[in-house]
């Protein structure tokens, strides 16, 4: 996926997740959307820094890099939500291309893509980006409304409760 697709994805995702996290449709909803927008957009653009430094679709397109951004906020109390942008960048690069990304780099150089991936030059690229974003918002809402309440009911200190703390909700 190209930069335009990643930015479109980040903007729509911030609006959708903002509504999921704060569905009151008040000023607080808009604040949540704005609060998400910059870090998610930064995360969505960050992996392609490896076009200049390292190997593109490998050095910054892998699960260890995502793990660093998931854990970072718990230790340093900043960069919340940036991991959301990075995760969604990976999803778009896997689905929005035939080449794929090296998810397990540096342990493996194998690139994981989608055989029917829509290339960045396709006229359907924006449509695919919007559809993928809608699926992501649905998945996030399912976790937010169904999985996280379950984890709270069982034990407030479960790993999922920890995940909720990382997300900052
Ligand atoms: Zn990329």
What tens-digit pLDDT sequence spans the chain (169 residues)? 788 899 999 999 999 999 999 999 999 999 999 999 999 999 999 999 999 999 999 999 999 999 999 999 999 999 999 999 999 999 999 987 778 899 999 999 999 988 776 776 778 888 889 999 999 999 999 998 888 777 666 554 555 566 667 667 6
Please give the Cα distance from 98 to 123 (Å, whole number): 15
Alpha helices in the chain (DSSP H): 3-21, 27-45, 63-76, 82-95, 125-142, 148-154, 159-167
CA of 147 to the centre of ligand 1 (A): 29
CA of 34 to the centre of ligand 1 (A): 24
CA of 47 to the centre of ligand 1 (A): 6
Report the pLDDT value the prediction gives residue 135, as an integer from 0 to 100.
95
Helix (H, G, I), strand (E, B) or coil at 71: helix
CA of 127 to the centre of ligand 1 (A): 18
Please give the Cα distance from 121 to 103 (Å, whole number): 23
CA of 32 to the centre of ligand 1 (A): 26
CA of 3 to the centre of ligand 1 (A): 8
Contact between 111 and 152 under an 8 Å Cβ cutoff? The reply is no
Report the pLDDT value the prediction gives residue 156, as an integer from 0 to 100.
47
Could you tell me the two tokens for 70? 């998931």
Question: pTM for the whole thing?
Answer: 0.84
The domain in which residue 65 lies consists of 3-167
CA of 6 to the centre of ligand 1 (A): 8
CB atoms within 10 A of CB 12: 19
CA of 129 to the centre of ligand 1 (A): 13
- Look at the chain and report how many structural domains it folds into: 1
Report the pLDDT value the prediction gives residue 166, as an integer from 0 to 100.
67
Please give the Cα distance from 51 to 59 (Å, whole number): 9
């Amino acid at each position: 996926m190209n930069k335009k697709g990643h930015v479109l994805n980040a903007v729509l995702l911030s609006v959708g997740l903002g509504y999921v996290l704060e569905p009151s449709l008040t000023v607080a909803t808009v604040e949540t959307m704005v609060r998400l927008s910059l870090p998610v957009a930064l995360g969505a653009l960050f992996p392609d820094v490896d076009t200049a430094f390292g190997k593109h679709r490998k050095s910054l397109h892998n699960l260890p890099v995502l793990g660093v951004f998931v854990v970072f906020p718990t230790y340093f109390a900043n960069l919340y939500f940036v991991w959301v942008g990075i995760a969604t960048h990976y999803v778009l690069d896997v689905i929005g291309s035939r080449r794929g990304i090296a998810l397990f780099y540096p342990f493996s150089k194998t690139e994981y893509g989608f055989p029917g991936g829509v290339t960045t030059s396709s006229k359907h690229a924006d449509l695919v980006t919007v559809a993928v974003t809608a699926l992501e918002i649905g998945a996030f809402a399912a976790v937010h409304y169904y999985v996280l309440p379950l984890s709270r009911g069982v034990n407030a200190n479960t790993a999922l409760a920890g995940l909720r703390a990382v997300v900052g909700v």
